[in-house]
Structure 1
Amino acid sequence: MIRLLLAEDQALVRGALAALLSLEGDLEVVGMAADGEEALAQVKALRPDILVTDIEMPRLSGLDLAERLGAEVPGVRVVIVTTFGRAGYLRRALEVGARGYLLKDAPAADLADAIRRVHAGGRAVDPTLAAEAWGDRNPLTDRERQVLREAETGATTAQIAAALNLSEGTVRNYLSEAIGKLEAGNRVEAARQAREKGWL
């Protein structure tokens, strides 16, 4: 029996996934979480074989969650199921150790098969995205991504500096570097471009 934990902030989707996967004779849903922090705590407590998670969730994203699990609970494999069909997200997911990446509009049977493949030690990646994933490389550093994520919310330089524990001058430098790399007109445009490519 393959033990699963589902992390999805939309209750309806979470319930539907649980119901569909429970129909499979070799899959058992042992826990469900509505946000990333809750998922991390449940993984540590329940030790499932596979975490099936969305990317965009409150408190801790699916990508951050996958990265934390790699460091804190390395035996648990991660399958990401998302609406974000962007090659940049897939690349980041693979970089942080996710073993599977599927879109939410895939048939339930495909997800079940992907879980089995990942459990057996393989990878399961949406084939269309896999072909695109090796196009544009993400030119941004981790810090530039963090600063742009804060800028995306409309935060001022001072607010970004306080949130990330940096000096205002350092934040301005990171913003300037990111804007230059993306050839954007300003921080808002840079954040929008990076988000569209799946780099944030």
Structure 2
Amino acid sequence: MTEENTGTYEEAPQIPELFYELGAKMKKYSLWMWIILGTGLVCGFFILVAGIVWGIVQDDIAMIVFFSVLGLFGLIFSCIGIISLVMYWQYLGSVKNIRDATADPIFEKVYQYLLIGFILQFCGLAIVTFILNILVFMELEKWALKMEQLLPTPEMKNISEGYKWMKIATAVSICCGLAIIAMPVAYSKVGKAYMAEYNSSKFGGFGVTQQYPL
């Protein structure tokens, strides 16, 4: 029987860069969440105004204007949605890279949940995707809390708190759409914390404390 060969994150130079890359993608994804929310508010306002004008005037020109505005903003939302899916796929790729590099069972679960949720979005099973996202954030919060004990830095605390708020926001969003505002805030918080931890300590804490199979 051979003894399992283990090392640390520090001994694998690519791992800190993978976490930094994940943080950068989370920040970018957070920005796009704000763009989607802002676009939705603007679209809703102009569609409402066009609908009111059509209701008051009730002529063919007003009807054409209303449906033109509706179609234009529908096209804008479609384009933004496609870009968001591409960014989500890139985020999923970063999680997969960390899973492969660390062989961490938590990241294995996270990747599986994210991949299944990504597929189910195209099947119209939004409620299942919400549930899977809650499981994702529960696993990541568990991982972050474990790392926070080993690495008690402000950045690591922000990461664990960010995942906690993602979990709460996702659960509440099922009943209250307004809670979705908390998601880009939490994504940005975690993303910045990953990048700040990399810049401040080069993930030295990860390297010293976290074991993974070589």
Q: Identify the TM-score tier after normalising by the shorter chain.
A: under 0.3
TM-score by length of 1: 0.27
TM-score by length of 2: 0.25
Q: Which has the higher contact order (CA 8 A, sep 6+)?
A: 2
Q: Quick check: which has more Rg, 1 or 2? A: 2
Q: Give the structure with the higher percent strand.
A: 1
Q: Give the structure with the higher percent helix.
A: 2
